[in-house]
């Protein structure tokens, strides 16, 4: 047994002793309700939906969509239905989940690096991959959840979506994504053809994208190899329910008789497929008697809703947008016998996931000053009055380390209101204010109503205190930590 594992076990023994004396946590705390006398280090399973709106889960009130396994997970979890991602598209959102940093801090506010997708598609394969690698420092130079856990003797497996090149760049010890074209050429393996005919890795996960759609075996093999010997962290971020909507017919047939609109049916079928894989994964942990010692975390990286005429295209009010169908996600945290299943309506954010997991694992000293999220499992830190923030960026970056130059809008939700403040980048969005309790679909913009002038001024100040959008001082630099 390594020294670090011994230290971890000593920590949990101390927690157990303090709990036994009723001293470790107040009655109000969400956190440990019980602990074994000498528990091993907990494993962590992170499940991330790719492109699923907050309202397309049974446990979020949708009584048509087929999500029985996610609903069961929710019933056993601390549930945060009012969660948000900082930006409503894959890569920036996933980088936040890895680092606990906002996009204007980690600098990955785009899907495609300079000079942008249209230009990099004209490059040779060698030039393309070299251009994509210019962003590696943004993830390599910062603490990430897998990098931190690996220093504490965890083995860390990456599967599914991963935009940061080779899995090792982000600190994983094991993984499927290599930042190179997958051996089989298809859309689902994240491989595509350059204009000159060469094949390249799209950049979103290449070989890792087979997880969930085609196989779960790499995760089972990894768990079975390491369980009981080393604690593990599994990143399960399948390319689901993301397009292409290619779920077998039986997943559409689940909705027979439910009168689901035509444009929603392929998306809902893909959600049912994703849900089935979540059930398989949890069942595998149960069969291996690992569930009681595994923290399961769930969120969606961003939302999705189809266009009525083109169901495989996202509605402009969902992905990449400033609206709830893009930005909002439920967050679930399950840890049997440690975290009480309950609903917590306070606003929360995926920047909270890294600090929450580190605190739960007894590693609070690994939470860096740059990580501005809260420990969601501490009743002291959850607040009814907490605002949550983010910013909307375009899909392409024109220059690195200058996120402020790309900001189309910053947004803040405080209480029932959400304010969207335009600029300063080109093609800014409009000033918008919504009362989400009365107008959850954000149809009535209150920003020009004088009745709300004071509220808008107060919320603008909250935004400016969070991040003044002409300030790039906080972004990761080439040689910074
Ligand atoms: Ca996504």
* Centre of ligand 1 from the C-alpha of residue 86, in Å: 12
pLDDT digits (tens, 9 = 90+) for 69-96: 999 999 999 999 999 999 999 999 999 9
Residue 431 forms part of a structural domain? no
User: Which parts of 317-425 are beta strand (E)?
Assistant: 328-334, 342-343, 348-349, 388-392, 409-414, 417-422
- Packing angle between helix 68-75 and helix 265-287, nearest 10 degrees? 50
Residues 192 and 50 in one domain: yes
Residue 442 forms part of a structural domain? no
pLDDT digits (tens, 9 = 90+) for 180-200: 887 765 556 788 889 999 999
Residues 221 and 263 in one domain: yes
The shares of helix, strand and coil residues in the chain, as percent rounded to the nearest 5, are 35, 15, 50
What's the distance, CA 38 to chain centroid?
A: 32
Last residue of a domain, one of 384, 403, 438: 384
Residue 399 forms part of a structural domain? no
Residues 249 and 325 in one domain: yes
Last residue of a domain, one of 324, 352, 384: 384
Residues 75 and 34 in one domain: no
Residues 182 and 238 in one domain: yes
Query: pLDDT class for 39, splitting at 50, 70, 90?
Result: low
Residues 5 and 73 in one domain: no
* Centre of ligand 1 from the C-alpha of residue 51, in Å: 4
Residues 6 and 153 in one domain: no
* Centre of ligand 1 from the C-alpha of residue 385, in Å: 29
Residue 424 forms part of a structural domain? no
* Centre of ligand 1 from the C-alpha of residue 17, in Å: 43
Residues 257 and 297 in one domain: yes
* Centre of ligand 1 from the C-alpha of residue 207, in Å: 17
* Centre of ligand 1 from the C-alpha of residue 311, in Å: 16
* Centre of ligand 1 from the C-alpha of residue 307, in Å: 16
Residue 71 forms part of a structural domain? yes
Query: What is the pairing mode between strands 294-300 and 43-49?
Result: parallel
Average pLDDT over residues 128-144: 96
* Centre of ligand 1 from the C-alpha of residue 304, in Å: 8
Average pLDDT over residues 241-258: 96
Q: What is the pLDDT of residue 26?
A: 41
Residue 292 forms part of a structural domain? yes
pLDDT digits (tens, 9 = 90+) for 323-354: 999 999 999 999 999 999 999 999 999 999 99
* Centre of ligand 1 from the C-alpha of residue 90, in Å: 4
Residues 97 and 130 in one domain: yes
Q: Residue 13: which domain range?
A: 1-39
What's the distance, CA 386 to chain centroid?
A: 20
Q: What percent of the chain has pLDDT over 90?
A: 84
CA distance 356 to 374: 7
Residues 82 and 177 in one domain: yes
* Centre of ligand 1 from the C-alpha of residue 453, in Å: 35
Query: pLDDT class for 428, splitting at 50, 70, 90?
Result: confident
Q: What is the mean pLDDT of the chain?
A: 91
Query: pLDDT class for 18, splitting at 50, 70, 90?
Result: very low
* Centre of ligand 1 from the C-alpha of residue 91, in Å: 7
Q: Is the pLDDT of residue 130 over 80?
A: yes
Residue 440 forms part of a structural domain? no
Residue 444 forms part of a structural domain? no
Last residue of a domain, one of 384, 411, 445: 384
Nearest to 268 by CA among 256, 280, 252, 284: 252
| Confidence (pTM) | 0.92
Residues 172 and 33 in one domain: no
* Centre of ligand 1 from the C-alpha of residue 161, in Å: 9
Residues 1 and 84 in one domain: no
* Centre of ligand 1 from the C-alpha of residue 322, in Å: 15
What CATH number is associated with residue 223? 3.40.720.10
């Amino acid at each position: 047994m390594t020294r670090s594992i011994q230290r971890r076990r000593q920590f949990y023994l101390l927690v157990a002793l303090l709990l036994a004396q009723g001293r470790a946590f107040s009655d109000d705390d969400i956190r440990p309700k019980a602990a074994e006398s000498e528990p091993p280090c907990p494993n962590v399973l992170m499940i991330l939906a790719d492109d699923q709106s907050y309202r397309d889960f049974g446990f979020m009130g949708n009584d048509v969509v087929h999500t029985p396994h996610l609903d069961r997970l929710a019933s056993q979890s601390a549930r945060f239905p009012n969660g948000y991602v900082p930006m409503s598209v894959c890569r920036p959102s996933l980088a936040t989940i890895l680092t606990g940093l906002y996009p204007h801090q980690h600098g990955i506010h785009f899907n495609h690096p300079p000079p942008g997708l249209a230009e990099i598609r004209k490059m040779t394969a060698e030039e393309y991959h070299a251009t994509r690698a210019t962003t590696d420092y943004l993830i390599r130079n910062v603490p990430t959840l897998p990098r931190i856990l690996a220093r504490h003797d965890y083995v860390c497996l990456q599967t599914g979506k991963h935009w940061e090149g080779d899995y090792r760049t982000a600190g994983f010890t094991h993984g499927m994504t290599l930042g190179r074209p997958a051996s089989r050429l298809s859309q689902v393996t994240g491989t595509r053809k350059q204009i000159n005919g060469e094949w390249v890795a799209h950049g979103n996960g290449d070989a890792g994208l087979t997880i969930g759609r085609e196989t779960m075996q790499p995760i089972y093999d990894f768990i079975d190899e390491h369980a009981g010997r080393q604690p593990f962290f599994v990143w399960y971020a399948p390319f689901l329910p993301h397009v292409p909507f290619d779920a077998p017919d039986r997943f559409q047939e689940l909705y027979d008789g439910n009168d689901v609109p035509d444009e929603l049916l392929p998306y809902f079928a893909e959600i049912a497929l994703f849900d089935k894989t979540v059930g398989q994964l949890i069942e595998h942990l149960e069969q291996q008697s690992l569930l009681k010692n595994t923290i399961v975390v769930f969120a969606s990286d961003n939302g999705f809703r189809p266009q009525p005429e083109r169901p495989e295209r996202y509605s402009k009010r969902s992905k990449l947008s400033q609206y709830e169908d893009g930005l909002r996600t439920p967050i679930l945290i399950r840890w049997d016998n440690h975290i009480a299943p309950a609903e917590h309506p306070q606003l929360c954010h995926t920047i909270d996931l890294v600090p929450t997991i580190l605190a739960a694992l007894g590693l609070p000293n690994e939470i860096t000053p740059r990580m501005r999220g809260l420990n969601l499992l501490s009743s002291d830190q959850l607040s009814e009055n907490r605002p949550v923030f983010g910013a909307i960026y375009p899909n392409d970056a024109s220059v690195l380390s200058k996120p402020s130059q790309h900001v189309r809008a910053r947004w803040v939700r405080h209480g029932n209101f959400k304010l969207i403040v335009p600029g300063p980048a080109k093609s800014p969005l409009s000033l918008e204010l919504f009362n989400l309790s009365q107008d959850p679909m954000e149809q009535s913009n209150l920003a020009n109503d004088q009745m709300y002038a004071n509220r808008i001024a107060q919320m603008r100040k909250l935004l400016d205190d969070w991040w003044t959008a002409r300030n790039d001082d906080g972004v990761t630099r080439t040689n910074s930590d």
